[in-house]
Amino acid sequence: MRGLRVRRFDSTSLTAGLALIGLGVLLLLDRLETIDLRFGYLWPALLAAVGAILLASGLSRRSGGGTMKQ
Amino acid sequence: MSEQDTPNPEPEPEAKAEEPEGDTDRGPVPRRLFRSRDDRVVGGVAGGLGKYFDVDPVFFRVGFVATAFLGGLGVFLYLAALLFVPSEPPAGEEPRRRSRAVTIAAAALLIVVGGLIVSDGGWWVGGSFFGPLGFVLLLGAVVWWLVWGRSGTGAHPRATLARIAIVFLILIGSAVLLAASVWTSAAGGGVAVAVLVIAIGTLLAAAAFWGGTRWLIVPALAIAAGLGVVAAADVDLDGGYGKRVYAPSSPGEVRAAYDLGAGRLEVDLRDVDFAGGERRIDLEVGLGEAVLVVPRNVCVVSNADVGAGYLRVLGWDTGGVNVAWRDGSAQAAKLVVDAHVGLGALQVVHDPRDAMGHEDNWNDIEDEEDPSLGRSAACAA
Indicate the domain borders of chain B: 24-152, 156-233, 241-379
CA distance to A14, A25, A63, B184, B187, per residue, from B228 (Å): 22, 11, 34, 12, 14
Cα separation, B357 vs B95, whole angstroms: 54
Cα angle B281, B286, B291 (rounded to 5 degrees) comes to 50
Confidence (pTM): 0.57
Give the model's pLDDT for residue B19: 40
CA B84 to chain A, closest CA, distance in angstroms equals 14
pLDDT in the model for residue A58: 77
> Tens of pLDDT along B215-246?
888 889 889 988 998 888 888 887 888 899 99
Least confident of B77-81, B110-114, B271-275: B110-114
Is B11 within 8 Å of chain A by CB?
A: no
Q: Note the pLDDT of residue A59.
A: 78
Mean pLDDT, range A38-48, rounded to an integer: 80
Smallest CA–CA distance, residue A34 to chain B, in Å, is 12
d(CA B214, CA B207): 9
Which ipTM was obtained for this model? 0.81
Q: Which of B119, B121, B156 is nearest to B8 (CA)?
A: B156
Average pLDDT, chain B: 74
Q: Does B101 have pLDDT greater than 70?
A: no
For an interface test with B, the pick among A20, A26, A61 (most B C-beta atoms closer than 10 Å) comes out as A20
Amino acid (1-letter code) at residue B378: A
Q: Do A10 and B1 touch (CB under 8 A)?
A: no
Residue A17: the pLDDT is: 92
Determine, for residues A31 and B194 on separate chains, whether the beta-carbon distance falls below 8 Å. yes
- Which residue pairs from B202-206 have beta carbons closer than 8 angstroms and sit at least 24 positions apart in sequence? B202/A17, B202/A21, B203/A17, B204/A13, B204/A14, B204/A16, B204/A17, B204/A20, B205/A13, B205/A14, B205/A17, B205/A18, B205/A21, B206/A17
Residue among A44, A45, A55 whose CB faces B104 most closely: A55
Give A60→chain B minimum CA distance, Å: 11
User: Could you tell me the pLDDT band of residue A2, with boundaries at 50, 70 and 90?
Assistant: very low
Q: Which residues of A touch B113 (CB under 8 A)?
A: 44, 47
